[in-house]
Amino acid sequence: MPKMKTHKGAAKRFKITKKGKLKHFNAGHSHLQSSKSPKRRRKLRKASLLADEHAGRVARLLLVRRVRAPQTPSQATLRELAAKEAAQQAEREAFLADRRAKAEAIRSEKRVAASAAKAAARAAEAAAPKKPEAAPAPKKEAAAKPPAAPRKEQKPGQAPA
């Protein structure tokens, strides 16, 4: 059987970290950088880790038997996260309930103030002596317009006067 050889192109482009992850340099940093922002250029300058979806294929090219998979959180950690999330949710619910109660109190105060103002206006209206209503003023007749002058008929091809 022939020797297993590493893929030299992949070996030049990828390195294996001490923790067993694959490191690579970003594309897009060799030219045409004037259109890229300084922040983007700084980020492209640094190496980054290869996505887990591609790590298996590249590991086969490099003849690496085992690339370290991302660590999954333990059950205890998951329970702690769930408890924190539940506490945050309860806190959020309490905050929203308090906010709704305050808004309802403000609305009811406004309703009470509005009804009190209406009642005061009615009482003032009832207490005030009524003035006799004046007869409406007679309407002025519109001045008659003089009749419009008859239009001259225009012959075809003639400019309007």
One digit per residue, the tens of pLDDT, for the chain of length 161 reads 888 899 999 999 999 888 888 999 998 988 998 999 999 999 999 999 988 888 888 999 998 876 666 566 778 888 889 999 999 999 999 999 999 999 999 999 999 999 988 888 888 888 777 766 766 777 766 666 777 777 767 777 776 65
Do 86 and 111 sit in the same domain of this protein? yes
Q: Which residues constitute the domain of residue 50?
A: 8-61
Do 48 and 22 sit in the same domain of this protein? yes
Count of domains for the chain: 2
**Residue 88 resides in a domain:** yes
Region of 122 please: left (phi>0), alpha (psi -120 to 50) or beta.
Answer: alpha
**Residue 20 resides in a domain:** yes
pLDDT of residue 1: 81
- CA 25 to CA 99: how far, in whole Å? 51
In sequence order, which ranges of the chain are alpha helices (DSSP H)? 8-13, 38-45, 52-61, 75-127
Do 51 and 89 sit in the same domain of this protein? no
Do 57 and 78 sit in the same domain of this protein? no
Measured CA distances, 102 to 88, 89, 106, 114, 115 (Å): 21, 20, 6, 18, 20
**Residue 69 resides in a domain:** no
Give the global pTM: 0.40
pLDDT of residue 25: 92
**Residue 43 resides in a domain:** yes
Do 55 and 80 sit in the same domain of this protein? no
pLDDT of residue 8: 94
Final residue of a domain: which of 20, 38, 61? 61
